[in-house]
Structure 1
Amino acid sequence: MANRTTLKDVARAAGVSQMTVSRVVRGDTVVSLRTREHVERVIGNMGYVPNKLAGSLARAHSNQVAVLIPSLVNNVYTSVLAGITEGLERGGYNPVVGVTEYDLQKEEAQLISMMSWRPAAVILANLVHTDRTRSILENTPVPVVEIMDISGDPIDLCVGLDHEAAAATLADYLMERGYRRFGYLGWQTNDFVAAARFRAFRARLETRGYGLVAPDVYDAPPDMPAGKKGLEMLLSVAPKTEAVAYSNDTAAMGGVNLCLELGMRIQDDLAIAGFSGLRMAQCLPQPLTTIRTRRRDIGKTAARNVLKRLSGTPVERKVDFGFELLKGQSA
């Protein structure tokens, strides 16, 4: 955590008066365009966020924690959010939630809005952010916890798992089961940890002389309809595919549905594997082979580490929850 950047700091760095900075922040047209652009550049570089709370309110204790997650449609993040909420409530704090839809610019805009109300802490997904977001987080004095991914260097704290190791473990298992022609279906455009798993899965296959059939055949948000449609497209291009890995369990269940509709024997005619370990995927007639992640525990630990940091208790900078390979009956 850093000392909070103030309006006075910005004025000093920009070489202008505090009143000028205040006018730029308020959008006052009396400031020349040249000066405005200069001050705005300094504001961006310093990660300064104007305080919308006036006077005594600005000094009041806040019990709000900013939480930015990519999706509430994805069942993974509903579990994470449940853990965050449970953990924060124990300390008398409440989450204020923003949904970024895997859009870094939207994450940045929501963070700026939330920071202007002076939250007690920030919890947000993954380690990839815009430069402006990173600057704001690096310059805030409140705790920052990045969740789900631990593969890089966190801004402050992080809680999650090694996605590349998880993908490699799944690839090894499928190869050990004797499969040789592999497909992979998932959304790589904006979901950075899903993209990392895809790369790691593919790289692991290549170490054994295998590859992916039609790796670019489908790139869409991984829900159940997309999983069904993606498999249909994959099989039309590569009908001899033996095993398909999905970027999450929800999409994988869409693939299972397609197999049932086509009369294909799951595991024998086509193996299907997922990621995340959703309960409903384990309730299928043939439980899904997948990687189970401790999503709720990740959320609870992120919240607990916020409370520890706020109370001055030492906190482990990086917490790895690991993962578990579930050897289901789909692969």
Structure 2
Amino acid sequence: MGQAGNGPRPRRSVLYMPGSNARALEKAKTLDVDALIFDLEDAVAPEAKATAREQVASAVKGGGYGHRELIIRINGLTSEWGRADLDAAIAAKPDAIALPKVNGPVDLKLVAGIMQAQGADPAIKLWAMLETPLAMLNAKSICLAAREESSRLEAVVMGTNDLSKETGTHITKGRAEMMPWLMLCLAAARAAGISIIDGVYNNFSDIEGFSEECTQGARMGMDGKTLIHPSQIDACNSAFAPSDEAVHWARKVIAAFEAPENAGKGVLQVDGKMVERLHAEMGQKVVAIADAIAARAG
């Protein structure tokens, strides 16, 4: 969950859009998705990189995406396209720039330094793709870089396909093999107070399997999930939104601790259950994100 103005910014559904597909960039304006990653990296063939860069920059500058958070994923700076991608993204002023294959905090500092030198709008944040063995070993230092405002880091994204490729680890049903890394990165993100977005589900025609993985991600504590097809949006939004039951309970706990007679109390009994003040704080986050989602629907 990020911040939009003074309130929470839902990041339940984060859809990758190939920057080389002009029709897809336009269609994205009508999709019920929380965030869009306009991809200049994996989804774009080498011969289409320049065209994709121009199309994405034009789309972001043109606007019309409403509440949707806009992120441009650039190619790595060590590639022949990376620097031109970064320059174009800075000029386009998306909500964030996603950096592929971040191996350590030095990668973030390099990009943030370039952005500072170019006078990039302070509102442009950075998202880091965690998708390499080094990223897993350095997850703590990468995420904690967010404590330095100059880093601009606001979210991390699990790149499970690349992680599978680089480690030789298979992604099976239930993702048992991936779970240690997923939970490690989640702990690092939470320690840093930033969002973490779960990896993609490759078989977009398998809605049942996808829904199960969304439910798993939500139970783990992920803020949302990256998507590869619009058909995945509804199930994702549903899984990562607070349930009516959870919101009702959160409001009840908050109200109990806000009652004058309970001022200063650390533990209360609500409907026969013992709750602590930390549960009220957790409930405030649940209610805030639910209200933000409801406001969009309205």
TM-score by length of 1: 0.26
For the pair shown, which has the larger CA radius of gyration, 1 or 2? Answer: 1
TM-score by length of 2: 0.28
- Select the structure that is richer in helix: 2
